[in-house]
Structure 1
Amino acid sequence: MSAKRQRFLNFARMVALISVMLGSLSLIVSLSVLDGFETMLKESAVKFTSHITLRAYDSRPIENYDSVRNVVTKSFPQIKAIAPIIEREGLIRSKTFVEGVLIKGTSEKYALTNVKNNIVKGKFHFSNPNANELIIGKRLATKLSAKPGDSLVLYTMKSGSVDNMGFPEIEKFRVIGIYETGMAQYDDIYVYIPFEKASEFFRLPINSASSFDIMLYNVNDAPQVSKQLDSFLGFPFYSYTVFELHKSIFTWIEYQKAPIPLVLGLISIVAVLNIITILLIVVVEKTHSIGILRALGMDNKSILSIFIVQGTLIGLAGTLIGCGIGLAFCLIQQTFGIIRLNGEIYFLDVLPVQISFWHYAVVIGISTALSFLATVVPSAIAVRITPVRAIRYK
């Protein structure tokens, strides 16, 4: 065989290997990213949101919240903790910026979510229950150019409507802490103030709350417990779970996963066709050599094994290289967070990836099996070559 034809054969082998490598790499990265999104969003949603939220219709305040809390706690052993919350929409203003926020009155005594464990500046500790102090998210702090010790102004409507001669409630608060969850919908919106101060600021009746945050021993029990709560308490109460609250996010993830089988099929077809092509080229180029081997007594099984091994090795090598590059990418992204996202669109600020060795096993197994199957046609053609015709072929 001439050097030129040998170079072409090597080039064809390289193209086949690269096609398998790119297919494996794209599958590993896409599966890792989608799993990372799902895991990170679920963890963040459960970590920074109560498992169940209990409210009253028409946003009416829940009066005598202690009695409701005690009844619910005694009646539902699945509940780990329940905390009264005061919550209302409002505006927050610095010297240079105004932003819409959700003001949440919370008590350190009942604090259920992990915001206090994600403070990046300052502290999660109010000096007293009626202090004009607040805690904001990092994204919001950046917009407001605020840091611990700065003063910000909160605006809200008393009883959810404009009264008091048409003016909103306005008070100045001091920033004592900045938290970061990594999810834009939290870091950009929630502002925490003391529970008692929120009651005074919103002009709520004494011993009233806007809602209850409920944490369960097992978050997977949330749908069932939520239905039982609605039936047990009746009107005017209703509840919803963390899964219902973030339904759009999880639905979005499922939609992203839906095309994966189709993509897998298309990539596999391309890889198989490339392997078939390179082996057919080898059969054509090596016909003379095959004839000589057949004339020397080599049986069909041995010739068959040559092409099967060659095709399978191309597929296996390409798959392992692709998976190796994919693993390296995932490790680098997990460690350094090189690829950043627009949190307002993708809910997270950093591209999440999750390394699952099950994915690697499936991709390697399927790719190698398809590579093996791709050798059937070229191998069958090779064993049908007769020695006399093959030796004459040049």
Structure 2
Amino acid sequence: MEASRFVARRLRFKGKTAMVSIAVSFLVMILAQSISAGFRSEIRKGVAAVSGDVQLGPSDLNVIGEDHPVSIAQSFRGKLDSLRGVAETVPVIYRVGIVKSGEDIHGVLVKGVPMPEDTLQLGVDIPARLASLLHLGAGDEMLTYFVGERVKVRRFRVRSVYPGILDSDENLVVYASLADMQRLNGWTADQASAFEVRLDRAFEAPAAMAAKNAEIGALAHIYAGAEDDDLVSTSAIQRFPQLFDWLRLIDMNVLVILILMTVVAGFNMISGLLILLFQNISTIGTLKALGMTDKAISKVFLRVSSNLVLKGMALGNGIALLFCALQAATHFVRLNPRNYFVSFVPVHVNLPAILLADLAAYAVIMLLLWIPTLFISRVDPAVTVRTQ
């Protein structure tokens, strides 16, 4: 057995404070990472539900009147559906309406999406915010006015109430059947307002989404037939820039937290290792007198410190993952959706990212621990052994 390993097994590092500090640092790092990923995932779902990751439609998309429908049977549909990263392409119809319930009225965006043929005619799904504002629930009638060349009225029936992620008083989306909206606009079964393209999770990052948006726009232009509509692609980043700016700010904060927690853990371990070195100064002198090199003695104390770091890392990771599991299952930590877009703290555990953060933090901490081991070279065995 290697001498440094043998000696390290017999040294006792009573650094409970240092281990707790390590555990807290890794706990904060993992939680920050998981919550940031959770916000990104939930907001992306909300954006995709409202208008898709990429919207493909006419440059003069009209959500008020009934002009300029596009054909669902575009020549490029086959190429688009088979494009790498595209999860699905959905034809949709947008139409602004005014909902009246008793004496209360509110503006909404009614979105027609494909639904099964046995879906309730004139049935709609409304956001919880609208249900609260107009005191509506499942089964209630919802009178909706549409303004165009002439005012049209539809008496919808609330099919369900869904928890909208991006809903504010100015941004309420009601989901209706595509067929109902085609009849409202006087369009045929192969006409819609635009296409919504949903991307795979691998393309949720802003840079990847922007690149895929440009690729989809180019594909629609290159493979468009003579009879096809002239469509332009718009990414969710372009439609909701404030949301993605907010996410970028969160990511920057997470990076700062990761760096700070790693440095805090590293300096706590440095102080703990210095205490251990001073407590064992006579042992260091004895080992030198027996012929061990400074490098070998440094390995002894680095092994002891490494074990403590790994224990703290395991404890911090365990508590963080337990919290994430409980939060994902119960949503017991709540938020104000007006400030944070969601009503609970979202978490998304990305194990590869967590493992990478653990490895990077461990490597930085161990590099920092080389600093106090320089003290070993200044220990004079003649003095320490004589003192002992």
**Which among 354, 362, 369 is matched to residue 356 of structure 2?**
362
**Residues 154 and 316 (structure 1), Cα distance of their counterparts in 2 relative to 1, 3 Å cut:** same
**Which among 55, 60, 65 is matched to residue 57 of structure 1?**
60
Q: In the alignment, which residue of structure 2 is the partner of 1:22?
A: 24
Stretches of structure 2 that go unaligned for 5 or more consecutive residues are 1-11, 82-87, 204-208
Distance 1:279 1:236 in 2: 68
**Bigger CA radius of gyration:** 1
Q: In the alignment, which residue of structure 1 is the partner of 2:8?
A: none
Distance 2:112 2:293 in 1: 83
**Residues 174 and 40 (structure 1), Cα distance of their counterparts in 2 relative to 1, 3 Å cut:** closer
1:134 aligns with 2:108: no
Distance 1:12 1:45 in 2: 51
Give how far 1:235 is off: 8.7
Q: In the alignment, which residue of structure 2 is the partner of 1:264?
A: 258
Please give the per-residue CA displacement for 1:82-101, whole angstroms capped at 9, x wherever unaligned: 76644322332334744321
Stretches of structure 1 that go unaligned for 5 or more consecutive residues are 1-9, 111-123
Distance 1:75 1:286 in 2: 75
Give how far 1:52 is off: 2.6
Please give the per-residue CA displacement for 1:62-105, whole angstroms capped at 9, x wherever unaligned: 4575xx333x2x24422448766443223323347443211234
Letter in 2 for 1:69: I
Q: In the alignment, which residue of structure 2 is the partner of 1:33?
A: 35
Please give the per-residue CA displacement for 1:87-127, whole angstroms capped at 9, x wherever unaligned: 322332334744321123455369xxxxxxxxxxxxx8224
- Whether contact under 8 Å (1:52, 1:226) holds in the other structure is no
Q: In the alignment, which residue of structure 2 is the partner of 1:145?
A: 135
Q: In the alignment, which residue of structure 2 is the partner of 1:101?
A: 108
1:333 aligns with 2:331: no
Q: In the alignment, which residue of structure 2 is the partner of 1:3?
A: none
- Superposition TM-score, scaled by structure 1 size: 0.73
Please give the per-residue CA displacement for 1:200-256, whole angstroms capped at 9, x wherever unaligned: 76xx55559671234479787543232454685899754424453344433432332
Distance 1:297 1:224 in 2: 67
Identity of aligned residues (%): 22
**Residues 64 and 140 (structure 1), Cα distance of their counterparts in 2 relative to 1, 3 Å cut:** closer
Q: In the alignment, which residue of structure 1 is the partner of 2:194?
A: 212
Letter in 2 for 1:57: D
Distance 1:359 1:216 in 2: 24
1:158 aligns with 2:141: no
**Residues 366 and 79 (structure 1), Cα distance of their counterparts in 2 relative to 1, 3 Å cut:** closer
Structure 2 counterpart SS, 1:89: strand
RMSD over aligned Cα atoms: 3.8
Q: In the alignment, which residue of structure 2 is the partner of 1:119?
A: none
- Whether contact under 8 Å (2:263, 2:365) holds in the other structure is no
Distance 1:197 1:302 in 2: 79
- Give aligned pairs, total: 354
- Superposition TM-score, scaled by structure 2 size: 0.74
Structure 2 counterpart SS, 1:154: strand
Letter in 2 for 1:224: E
